[in-house]
Structure 1
Amino acid sequence: LRHVGIYPNLENLGYFLEINGKNLLEFDIGAFHILPEIDLAKLCPNLKIYSMVDDVDDMRIIFKSCQQLESITVLVYELLLISEKKILEIVVSNSPKEFYE
């Protein structure tokens, strides 16, 4: 699922993911935060490719729950909030064994 443009309606997105999440292999809605109302890790356990904004806690949860994950793109806007080193440490210590990118 790719979404480019305006911020998605979270209610519709949540409903879509409830129905189709288990079948999704890729999730990318650009630079938008997914709010806690949508439990992406629970609804989309088979993700292989995921793009996210720099949320360290979400990153750990995604790695733990999405064991098929092969690739993640992390959009970092404020290096003052999270460092590249911190992101790499999380990848090394939390990524599933199939993860390569």
Structure 2
Amino acid sequence: MKLSVRVRGDWFAVPCKGTEKVTWLGEESLRRYYKSKSRTGHAQEKVYEVRKAKGAAILDPDDAIKDVLDENDFVTVVLDSDISSPVTGPAEPVYVEEKS
């Protein structure tokens, strides 16, 4: 299956078998993000959570991807450093509401 994953505003197509865990998806997306920026040091960053881009549902890190996502789903990876602090203010990603 193929998923579209957003990390800090950049979108990546991430192919997978679906048997991998959501944790893997977050880490693989972060790896691709740093590869695209030609940077090392991604080991310092940590994935805070993985969410569906539509509806903003938080995905459990231990779930198999195929159990919680469908082919061509859009996902957002939120990093620890993306979370707001009293100093930097809100950094909450914007999500699209799911329409019935």
Taking structure 1 as the reference length, the TM-score comes to: 0.29
More helix by share: 1
More strand by share: 2
